[in-house]
Amino acid sequence: MGLRGVGKSTLGAALAPRLGGSFIDLDDITPAILGKSSPAACLTELGEPAFREAERRALDDPRVLSASVVSLGGGTPTAPGAAELLLRRARAGAHVIYLAASPATLRARLRRDDPSARPGLLGGTALDEVERLFTARDPIYRSIATSVVEANGDTALVLERVSWLVGASPNRPA
């Protein structure tokens, strides 16, 4: 889990093969629940409350429950009931990893994206709201996470850190 632009989807897709398992991106499941093509379409056409409820329902989708690696949407932990569900799964042994990056790093990454792919949630653009979302969500992510991985640097290094945490790295000490 983490904010938009931190690399959840990229890292999740790279981590799953290391674990010999499957990868699911909640941003693919949630729009399907709502009959839309993308998270952006859900948010602009149906609004954030409907999208958050669908995210919470997506956490119980059989594809999500059977995946080795799940990339949450940036706001999934704020969906009603989602934080409690994630905490229960963590207590049952799931790794809930917060990929933490500074607002400056997130803004730099978001500048490379198509602005229409990531609509603003607070009345501005995704770039305009990075600091506000970071301030609001960082404590939530930290309260749920079983581990926090700094994700400001090179993606390969972040992947190695996450792999080590979940036991999928050849460099993990015995």
DSSP symbols for 22-73:
-EEEHHHHHHHHHT-SSHHHHHHHH-HHHHHHHHHHHTTSHHHHH-SEEEPP
Average pLDDT, the chain: 89
Whole-model pTM: value is 0.89
The per-residue DSSP string of 145-158 comes to -SEEEE-SS-HHHH
Q: How many CB atoms lie within 10 A of CB 4?
A: 22
| Banded pLDDT at 119 (limits 50, 70, 90) | low
Q: pLDDT tens for residues 41-94?
A: 898 899 989 999 999 999 999 999 999 999 999 999 999 999 999 999 999 999
pLDDT of 43? 87
55 vs 80: CA distance, rounded Å: 9
On whether the CB atoms of residues 58 and 30 are closer than 8 A, the answer is yes
Residue 118 pLDDT > 80: no
Residue 115 pLDDT > 70: no
pLDDT of 160? 94
pLDDT of 168? 76
What's CA 158's distance to the chain center, in Å? 15
Residue 147 pLDDT > 80: yes
3-state SS of 111-147 is HCCCHHHCCCCCCCCCCCCHHHHHHHHHHHHHHHCCE
Amino acid at 1: M
Amino acid at 49: P
57 vs 112: CA distance, rounded Å: 31
Q: pLDDT tens for residues 19-51?
A: 999 999 999 999 999 999 988 889 889 998 999
Mean pLDDT of 113-130: 63
Q: Which domains does the chain have, with CATH numbers?
A: 8-164 (3.40.50.300)
Burial class (CB in 10 A: 0-12, 13-18, 19+), 5: buried
The gap between the terminal CA atoms of the chain, to the nearest Å, is 27
On whether the CB atoms of residues 78 and 52 are closer than 8 A, the answer is yes
